[in-house]
Chains A and B, each alone.
Chain A
Amino acid sequence: MAEVVLNGVSKAFGDETALDNVNMTVPDGSFVVLLGPTGAGKTTTLRMVSGLDKPDAGHVSIGGRDMAGLTPAQRDVAMVFQQYSLYPHLTVRQNLEFPLKSPILRTRQSVIDQKVGEVAEILQISHKLGNKATALSGGEMQRVSIGRALVRNPSVYLMDEPLSSLDAKLRSDLRIELKNIQANSGATLLYVTHDQIEAMTIATHVGVLDNGRLVQFGTPREIYENPVSVYAASRLGQPRINVVPADLFGGAPQAAETIGLRPEHIVQGEGEDSMVKRVEHLGDQTRLHLAFKNHDLITVTDAHTELSEGDIVKIRPEKPYYFDASGARVA
């Protein structure tokens, strides 16, 4: 287990900048989730740490050791690939054994059998161990791919959208399982996802990437409650933060161009009138789609609300975020 430090890491593929001077410290034993849309540099960051790609500038160190010039095998990292990358000529069992049989580990067969058995149990693939890796569903392949990382005990786990192909039930099961494994083993985990629920529930830290730059790094709560920009604010929160012109409500600071309202920033029952456009009952909560001075707002209300389409609700903002013209937070 080890701390991972990225120091001024930049990488370009041709004219495309993939990473731009990224500085990030992944603390020992932390579960760091990287968030950002496609092309933000999440996967590239993992590849820098793994050694599959070399940075154009900057340094990566793991456990205090500079990784420059070291091969992936020498870095002692395990990685779950987004495309699964199971060895198609091997069975599921052989795929899981593969890292343990590497010339670096040379594990005894009894230990291999035990490890593979345990991991297969956790991932619910014990009954598929004899299958060819190609004779699996997408979700099963993804689990084998996670298993191939979990059989080892590396200094860092790197996971690239490891739960994306699973159904909702399995996904939430494995989310908890991954969190448990990480918490119990003290492993350091660097994790890429699009799914903000995953980020909020399992991360100890979240890194928000925008066009190859790390724009914010902190606990999920910090990022949620204290975003540095419109961009960072819109990465987390369901329903998404409402972004409207700053002068809509009045009382905005001088530099503010837009105002960001999370659902809980909209107080109902006082202030100015808005009209209910749609009511979505989700069971534990109800979402309200409101029209306010020609702008759409989405907020959350009581699960058993009596409101229906066409009703008028008074609203006012409560401690919203203000952003300047470039999207940076001003208050």
Chain B
Amino acid sequence: MSFSVTEPTKGTKWFAGVLVVAYAVITLIPLLWIIATGFKSPADSIAYPPVVVFEPTLEGYVNLFTDRTRATEDMLEAAGPPQTWYEEIARERGTVISGPSRYGERFLNSVIIGFGSTALCMILGTAAAYAFSRFRVPLKDDLLFFILSTRMMPPIAVAIPIFLMFRNLGLNDTHLGMILLYTAVNLSLSVWLLKGFIDEIPMEYEEAALIDGYTRFQAFYKVVLPQAATGIASTAIFCLIFAWNEYAFAVLLTSGEAQTAPPFIPNIIGVNGKDWPAVAAGATIFLVPVMVFTVLLRKHLLRGITFGAVRK
């Protein structure tokens, strides 16, 4: 089959440009809206028609990170003038800060569970994918299908058995339990994706390393892994995004110690009324780690490092 490669015409370039910009606007507007809402006052956040130009305030962020109580005149006098800028913000609403909120802890839980399960998933996934790609495994195709099939049902279908299992094993509301669960869920995806990437790496490199005096494991470590870096990086991003955003299992299986941020953020509503700026602030901060992780690994996603050292 042949096709001609020609320079795109001005018209197609222009059309493609419009398409990309339109797509970017559609996907970015909700994001921008959330970020903006985080800096709005509660009144501005629910104003109709929506306000686009507003006076920014850090009230949402202060409310997100603190617990506050409604203050009486006596309490205010006893407390004296506000010591810090965030106390001042709380005071303007007639409240005093009674202590830090639990958002910090929940966020840290998300980091531990998200990155922990991603790391575990990469270690197990790469090893399994390498074995499936290179060795003669009995019932290979059936096993691969079985691994994939664990991804076919909705989480809620297995929620109750998992809940009971976790309770019996003492894994309820623990970091370890959540790391194991997310790893189990993500492993099918990572094995399949990584097998594809490792299949692309020609066997000749490992054979050369075996001849050059290395064992199979050393050849894997020194020759295959560096070349699979691109695939591992992109798979890690997928796994992290899933583990980071997961809500259903988190609501069901965590409540205190190991609760992640996703089930915590909606809890903000209700404690002090519908505090949309605080919710938006929580969501904004929640976005940051995944964005940083993706940006850090971006160069791996773009680099085709195995290009051309084996003659086809």
Contacts and interface: CB of A to CB of B under 8 A. Distances in A.
Nearest to B227: A89
Interface in A132-178: 133-134, 138, 141, 148, 165
Interface in B133-174: none
Tier of interface size on chain A: 20 to 34
B204 A133 contact: no
Contacts of A83: 202, 204, 310-312
B226 to A, nearest CB: 4
Contact of B211 (A72, A87, A134, A165): A72
B309 A73 contact: no
B210 A71 contact: yes
A98 B226 contact: no
Which of A50, A86, A103, A138 has the most CB atoms of chain B within a 10 A radius of its CB? A86
Interface string A40-73: 0000000000111000000000000000000111
Contacts, number: 86
B213 A73 contact: yes
Interface stretch (A2-10, A74-82, A239-247, A288-296): A74-82
Contact of A88 (B212, B227, B312): B227
A105 B214 CA distance: 10
Interface string B205-230: 10111111111101000010011000
A15 B132 CA distance: 24
Interface string B180-210: 0000000000000000000000101101111
Contacts of B312: 83
> What range describes how many residues of B lie at the interface?
20 to 34
Interface centre among B208, B306, B307, B308 (most CB of A within 10 A): B208
Contact of B311 (A51, A84, A98): A84
A89 B305 contact: yes
A85 interface: yes
A325 interface: no
B214 A84 contact: no
A105 B213 contact: yes
B309 A98 contact: no
A30 B205 CA distance: 28
A50 B211 contact: yes
A102 interface: yes
Contacts of B205: 85, 87-88
Contacts of A133: 309
A84 B227 contact: no
Nearest to B218: A103
A152 B209 CA distance: 13
Nearest to A145: B208
A89 B226 contact: yes
Contacts of B305: 88-89, 134
Given A85-B204, A87-B309, A88-B307, A99 B215 contact: no
A102 B210 CA distance: 10
Contacts of B309: 84-88, 133-134, 141
Interface of B: 202, 204-205, 207-216, 218, 223, 226-227, 305-312
7 contacts: A50-B211, A71-B210, A81-B204, A83-B204, A83-B312, A84-B309, A102-B214
Given A87-B209, A141-B311, 5 more contacts: A79-B208, A81-B208, A85-B207, A85-B310, A87-B205
